[in-house]
Amino acid sequence: MRIVVLDGFTANPGDLSWDEIYRLGETTVYDRTDAKDIVARAKDADAILLNKCPMKKQTMMQLGNLKYIGVLATGYNVVDTAYAKEAGIVVTNIPAYSTASVAQHVFALILEMASHVGVHSQRCLSGAWETSKDFCFWDHPLTELYGKTLGIIGNGAIGQAAGRIASAFGMNVISYSPSKNAPETLEKIYQEADIISLNCPLKEDNKEMISSSSISRMKKGVWIVNTARGGLVNEQDVKDALISGQIGGFAADVVSVEPIKHDNPLLTAPNVILTPHIAWAPLEARKRLIKIAAENLKSFIAGTIVNCVNV
pLDDT, tens digit (0-9, with 9 covering 90-100), for 88-129: 999 999 999 999 999 999 999 999 999 999 999 999 999 999
Among candidate residues 129, 87, 98, 140, the one with its CA nearest the CA of residue 10: 98
> pLDDT tens across 223-235, in order?
999 999 999 999 9
- The Cα–Cα gap between 77 and 295 comes to 21
Q: What percent of the chain has pLDDT over 70?
A: 98
pLDDT at 113 (0 to 100): 98
Is the pLDDT at 220 greater than 70? The verdict is yes
Sign of CA dihedral 5, 10, 14, 18: negative
pLDDT at 183 (0 to 100): 55
Across the range 35-48, mean pLDDT stands at: 98
pLDDT at 179 (0 to 100): 72
**Helix (H) or strand (E) segment spanning residue 191:** helix 184-192
> pLDDT tens across 237-265, in order?
999 999 999 999 999 999 999 999 999 99
The runs of H, that is alpha helices, within 17-150 are 19-22, 38-42, 57-60, 81-86, 99-115, 117-125
> pLDDT tens across 13-33, in order?
999 999 999 999 999 999 999
Q: Are 46 and 66 spatial neighbours (Cβ–Cβ below 8 Å)?
A: yes
Domains of the chain (ranges, CATH numbers) = 2-97+283-302 (3.40.50.720), 99-274 (3.40.50.720)
Residue 249 burial (C-beta neighbours within 10 Å; 0-12, 13-18, 19+): buried
Active site residue 164: no
Among the listed residues 229, 235, 286, 288, the single catalytic one is 229
**Helix (H) or strand (E) segment spanning residue 28:** strand 26-29
pLDDT at 20 (0 to 100): 97
What's the chain's average pLDDT? 96
Across the range 66-79, mean pLDDT stands at: 96
Give backbone dihedrals phi and psi of 236, rounded to 5 degrees, phi first: -70, -40
Among the listed residues 2, 41, 123, 277, the single catalytic one is 277
Q: Are 285 and 73 spatial neighbours (Cβ–Cβ below 8 Å)?
A: no
246: number of Cβ within 10 Å: 18
Q: What does each C-alpha distance from 108 to 33, 104, 143, 213 come to in angstroms?
A: 32, 6, 14, 28
Active site residue 286: no
Beta strands in 157-246 (DSSP E): 172-176, 195-198, 222-226
pLDDT at 185 (0 to 100): 86
> pLDDT tens across 169-190, in order?
999 999 998 776 555 689 999 9
pLDDT at 181 (0 to 100): 55
Across the range 43-64, mean pLDDT stands at: 97
Active site residue 258: yes
3-state secondary structure of 15: coil
